[in-house]
């Protein structure tokens, strides 16, 4: 799924944008939940939700469930990686 979105990876960057704590379907997004430490799982989760423009990996904790809505607002931030769906900034 994620590959279809032609994602971009921004090293040493935070995605910015609005935080997604609840998905459009009403389910909890589990923003920042500690059990999201697998990049492929985060890619799949973000891909399943149209409102998810990208997510942030916090390298120190390995957590990648920091979901962001468009428009993204990339900021330089050491120790973070922004995974962005194409065409969402």
Q: What Å distances lie between residue 77 and 25, 43, 51, 58, 88, CA to CA?
A: 31, 20, 23, 10, 20
Mind listing the pLDDT tens digit for each residue in 27-55? 999 999 999 999 999 999 999 999 999 99
- Read off φ and ψ for residue 60, nearest 5 degrees: -65, -35
Under a CB-based contact definition with an 8 Å cutoff, are residues 68 and 15 in contact? Answer: yes
- Read off φ and ψ for residue 21, nearest 5 degrees: -105, -20
**pLDDT higher than threshold 70 for residue 13:** yes
- Judged by average pLDDT, the poorest of 8-12, 26-30, 31-35, 83-87 is 83-87
Q: Is the pTM of this model over 0.85?
A: yes
Under a CB-based contact definition with an 8 Å cutoff, are residues 8 and 72 in contact? Answer: no
């Amino acid at each position: 799924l994620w590959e279809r979105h032609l994602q971009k990876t921004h090293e040493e960057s935070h995605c910015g944008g609005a935080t997604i704590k609840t998905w459009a379907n009403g389910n909890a997004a589990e923003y920042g939940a500690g059990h999201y430490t697998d990049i492929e799982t985060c890619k799949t989760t973000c891909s399943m939700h149209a409102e998810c423009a990208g997510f942030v990996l916090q390298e120190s904790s390995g957590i990648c469930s920091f979901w962001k809505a468009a428009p993204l607002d990339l900021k330089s931030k050491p120790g973070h990686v922004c995974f962005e769906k194409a065409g969402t900034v």
